[in-house]
Amino acid sequence: MTAIGVEGTSSYGAGFTRAARSHGHRVVEANRPDRAERRRTGKSDAIDAYAAARAALSGRASGSSKDDTVA
């Protein structure tokens, strides 16, 4: 099954998560890359997006995302 990896599903990613779910997509919470990884690859929105996608594809980001009931 295809899933979308999102970092921060209950904070800054909440709007995107809500929109993706409303269109029937499965959203999983992607953890931030560890510090060693961030030092090697740098920090940018594009790098973070690829890291979240890789985590979702590999199964590392298999945790369920937060929904509107979680504050």
* 1 vs 35: CA distance, rounded Å: 30
Tokens linked to 49: 């997006």
User: pLDDT-based confidence at 22, cuts 50/70/90?
Assistant: very high
Q: Is residue 69 part of a domain?
A: no
Q: Is residue 33 part of a domain?
A: yes
What is the domain extent for residue 21?
Answer: 3-58
Whole-model pTM above 0.75? no
Q: Is residue 53 part of a domain?
A: yes
Q: Is residue 70 part of a domain?
A: no
**Owner of token pair 């959203």:** 27
pLDDT digits (tens, 9 = 90+) for 39-69: 777 777 788 778 888 877 877 776 665 555 5
Three-class secondary structure assignment of 3-66: EEEECCCCCCCHHHHHHHHHCCCEEEECCCCCHHHHHHHCCCHHHHHHHHHHHHHHCCCCCECC
